[in-house]
Amino acid sequence: MTTIEPLVEHAPVADHIEPGVRYGFFTDTSVCIGCKACEVACKEWNGVPDRPLRFTGRSYDNTGKLGADTWRHVAFVEQPAAGGAVGGGAVGDGGLRWLMSSDVCKHCTHAACLDVCPTGALFRTEFDTVVVQSDVCNGCGYCVPACPFGVIDRRESDGLAWKCTLCYDRLRDDLHPACAKACPTESIQFGPLDELRARAGERVQELRARGVDEARLYLHDEADGIGGAGAFFLLLDQPEVYGLPPDPVDTTRDVGSMWRAAGVAALGLAGAAFAVVAGGRR
């Protein structure tokens, strides 16, 4: 049986947080132990309402998914272990492999939620993250179906949209996000996005050199359907296994061409109507 060891020597990526630099998360699921410290730290710092624990039928995953009251969600995925291999946690009794991953808002480069918001409640910060201003949100809910990951949601108690802010208030005070600070294995790493992407590439190479051929990066590529994400992941299986879409796209990417096509059609109809009227007068 093989194990994936945590990173025991790890220099911090971001010592000082500078406005104008894009910051984000790199989540290395190969060292996630499913402790849920990130979930607790997120709720405590941001005042996210608690939800009664419930049996979901999915192992120890009692939060189920991201939402207005769950800004960090630790997913537990049980699989039959091939040859006793371990990844992303431990092998339980009966030869099961547990894949664990702390999911969060992706802070997309092309953020559809931002594009559809009619009030400006959603905005891009000086750290290139995407945040909801609750005092500006009118609860219209347009952002909810626009998100290709099903992240953003309206809270039942107030009807407003809520999601991860990447601890915007902490960043402005030169502090790292609460979830990253609380993670005991450094599965959640915070820093300048360019540096995180370089570190993630090295980590994948390291794992593959150690025989973890299934290691792959998800949402790090700027050429993907959302232009890359501010929160990306190292996975040990296909994205679908973790409940993530394999090929997410910006849901508003065709809006411009649709409006142009509608404009051309409208001009054509107006021209036809004018021709009919003009012909009738003759």
242 plus 260 within the same structural domain: no
246 plus 262 within the same structural domain: no
Predicted confidence band at 26 (pLDDT cuts at 50, 70, 90)?
A: very high
| Residues 67, 104: Cα–Cα separation, whole Å | 10
Q: Is residue 9 part of a domain?
A: no
Select the more confidently predicted residue: 93 or 109: 109
What does pTM read for this prediction? Answer: 0.82
Select the more confidently predicted residue: 56 or 29: 29
Q: What is the pLDDT of residue 281?
A: 59
DSSP 151-213: --EE-TTT--EE----SHHHHHTT---HHHHH-TT--EEEEEHHHHHHHHHHHHHHHHHTT-T
271 plus 206 within the same structural domain: no
- Asked if residue 265 has pLDDT above 50, the reply is no
Q: What is the pLDDT of residue 60?
A: 72
Given the DSSP bridges, would you call strands 73-80 and 153-154 parallel, antiparallel or unpaired?
unpaired
214 plus 281 within the same structural domain: no
- Asked if residue 246 has pLDDT above 50, the reply is yes
28 plus 63 within the same structural domain: yes
Task: Tell me which amino acid residue 31 is.
Answer: V
pLDDT in tens, 198-227: 999 999 999 999 999 999 999 999 999 999
| Residues 180, 37: Cα–Cα separation, whole Å | 9
Q: List C-alpha distances in Å: 136 to 23, 29, 70, 116, 194.
A: 24, 35, 21, 14, 32
The DSSP secondary-structure symbol of 8 reads -
Predicted confidence band at 64 (pLDDT cuts at 50, 70, 90)?
A: confident
Q: What is the pLDDT of residue 2?
A: 44
Predicted confidence band at 1 (pLDDT cuts at 50, 70, 90)?
A: very low
Q: Is residue 51 part of a domain?
A: yes
- Asked if residue 229 has pLDDT above 80, the reply is yes
Q: What 3-state DSSP class applies to 77?
A: strand
DSSP 214-257: T-EEES--TTSBTS-BSEEEEESS-GGGGT--SS-B-TTTTHHH
275 plus 184 within the same structural domain: no
Q: Is residue 5 part of a domain?
A: no
User: What is the chain's length?
Assistant: 282
| Residues 54, 46: Cα–Cα separation, whole Å | 22
Q: What is the pLDDT of residue 13?
A: 61
Proportion of the chain above pLDDT 70, given as a percent: 77
Q: What is the pLDDT of residue 79?
A: 84
Q: What is the pLDDT of residue 260?
A: 36
Candidate from 15-29, 124-138, 204-218, 248-262 with smallest mean pLDDT: 248-262
pLDDT in tens, 150-191: 999 999 999 999 999 999 999 999 999 999 999 999 999 999
pLDDT in tens, 65-77: 899 999 999 998 8
Q: Is residue 210 part of a domain?
A: yes
158 plus 275 within the same structural domain: no
142 plus 282 within the same structural domain: no
Strand partners, 38: none
220 plus 281 within the same structural domain: no
Among candidates 77, 76, 75, 96, which has minimal Cα distance to 85?
96
236 plus 265 within the same structural domain: no
Q: Give the other-Cβ count within 10 Å of 162's Cβ.
A: 21
Q: What is the mean pLDDT of residues 82-97?
A: 57
Q: Which residues constitute the domain of residue 29?
A: 23-251
Candidate from 11-15, 104-108, 263-267 with smallest mean pLDDT: 263-267
Q: What is the pLDDT of residue 259?
A: 34
Q: Is residue 200 part of a domain?
A: yes
- Determine phi and psi for 223, rounding to 5 degrees: -95, 5
Q: Is residue 4 part of a domain?
A: no
Burial of 191 (0-12, 13-18, 19+ CB in 10 A): buried
Task: Tell me which amino acid residue 207 is.
Answer: L
Q: Is residue 15 part of a domain?
A: no
Task: Tell me which amino acid residue 164 is.
Answer: C
205 plus 280 within the same structural domain: no
Q: What is the pLDDT of residue 112?
A: 96
127 plus 234 within the same structural domain: yes
| Residues 66, 152: Cα–Cα separation, whole Å | 8
Q: What is the pLDDT of residue 98?
A: 87
E strands within 68-116?
Answer: 73-80, 91-92, 96-103
Burial of 37 (0-12, 13-18, 19+ CB in 10 A): buried
List the CATH number of the domain containing 242. 3.30.70.20
What's the domain count of the chain?
A: 2
Q: What is the pLDDT of residue 222?
A: 93
Q: Is residue 8 part of a domain?
A: no
Q: What is the mean pLDDT of residues 12-33?
A: 90
